[in-house]
Amino acid sequence: MIKLSGKYILKFLQNHYEFVQDAFNYSKPDFIIDSNILEKLIEEYNISNDPKISVTKLIDVKFCRQLPTKDFKINRSYADFLQFLFDDFTLDLPQTLKERYKTIFELFTALKTEPKASKTIVLIQNIINIIDVFLNDIHRQTQRLLSDTESLKVNADEYSDLSKRLEKAVFWIDEYIEPLNKILEKGHPESFYSALVEIQKYTSEKQYIADSFKLKREYNKLYGSVVYARAELDHNLQKLTRELRPLLDRIKSDSIILSGFYHFVENVDYPENYIVPIPSPIKKTKGSTIFKEFYSEAEFFVDQFNYKTSAVYYEEQVEELEWLPDSTYFKEQLLKEDKVEDFYLWCFDALKKHTDEITLSKYFSLTNLLLEEDLIAEYKTDERITIDLKDASIKIPKVRVYERVSK
């Protein structure tokens, strides 16, 4: 029995890279490979390569397992890593991604009502994991759609038939592009993007007012993950709406027109195959020699070559960054005063010297100094006072703060 380790598995992949890639390609899209094909791949590989490989060795390194049907299934962990390694991803139906929204919504709902700190941390970690998995899935879907659409655009061998191109373009629009747009739509209340916006609002405050430093740290991690996820989804949404959808619509339209033209040319000698009879150009008739709808469609197709499409520039909105206090500067000012009897009131007065618009985020950014390890905070009374900020009114305790003296 082989004792597996990370180094051993990586060495196996390095030594048998070509075989692994061939097996991966033959097993797509469900990562199941016929036993006869696998044995043939092993036989061809062993002719010119050392060390040799066998089915037993593949099973020992957990590369695959045999199914009751005698086929071999590639281990999911290997499949995910090889998709990343070869930059060759399989497409999942958008319904799979939609389930991620339900999961993150349920976890977020539980997070807002969970009283126990230990359970709260677990919920936060699970939400971060779901966000990471979702981003990875969206990246895979978008990259694969872009790659396949490019093949469709340049008439790759498997899409040389116009009817197949049209069928594939319609399928991708109906089954992938439209559903993905709904999942990522910003204004839709049940979209993944809307869930991220709600989580960001919640964690932006919680990362400052949570009960312990550990909880504040976990909320801060979740906040950072959500902000990054929103930026990534914006980027992928632009690819879907500005690149993929217009390109597929163009392929769909061109394929319909060209299919009709080829059908007309191929059946010139068999006029009975036409849906609408062709009038004789010699015999005088009241009808037109060109079918009206064909004329308008053909004119539309030809017109696209008569002018250059004007360039369209999208002006990106530049988000104004809110001024936040320099914690290093204010910490120096705090230490100069030796002891501060009312820390929270000191923070308010210090900010007032620099700005008239003291918001909740600015205030909590400065009060975060309380978490510094070289400062000691003492609570001597339960008395609280109210401070009015620009966007909130908060009650604060009286906290005495002074510098920790090293022993």
Residue 160, CA distances (Å) to 91, 100, 157, 257, 286 in order:
22, 37, 5, 15, 39
pLDDT band at 126 (very low <50, low <70, confident <90, very high): very high
**Of residues 307 and 359, which shows the higher confidence score?**
359
For residue 135, which of 77, 87, 172, 183 has the smallest C-alpha distance?
183
pLDDT tens-digit series, residues 230-274? 888 787 777 666 665 665 566 555 544 545 554 555 555 666 666
Q: Could you tell me the two tokens for 387?
A: 């401070």
pLDDT tens-digit series, residues 345-399? 888 888 888 888 888 888 888 788 777 777 778 877 777 888 888 888 888 888 8
Give the mean pLDDT of 47-54. 88
| CA 368 – CA 374 distance, rounded (Å) | 13
pLDDT tens-digit series, residues 170-227? 665 666 666 666 666 776 777 777 888 889 999 998 888 888 899 999 999 999 999 9
For residue 222, which of 123, 317, 102 has the smallest C-alpha distance?
123
- ∠ CA 142-145-149 to the nearest 5 degrees? 140
Give the mean pLDDT of 13-24. 90
Q: Is the pLDDT of residue 122 over 90?
A: yes
Give the mean pLDDT of 94-107. 75
The dihedral through the CA atoms of 391, 392, 393, 395 has a sign that is: negative
Rounded to an integer, what is the distance from CA 326 to the centroid of its chain? 33
Helix, strand, coil abundance in the chain, percent, nearest 5: 60, 10, 30
Please, are residues 375 and 320 in contact by the beta-carbon 8 Å criterion? no
Count of Cβ atoms closer than 10 Å to residue 347 Cβ: 27
Q: Could you tell me the two tokens for 399?
A: 């906290």
The predicted pLDDT at position 153 comes to: 58
pLDDT band at 86 (very low <50, low <70, confident <90, very high): confident
| CA 191 – CA 182 distance, rounded (Å) | 7
DSSP 295-343: HHHHHHHHHTTSSPPPP--PPPPPPPPPP---HHHHHHHHHHTSEES-H
Residue 406, CA distances (Å) to 212, 341, 371 in order:
24, 21, 17
Please, are residues 342 and 303 in contact by the beta-carbon 8 Å criterion? no
The predicted pLDDT at position 158 comes to: 47
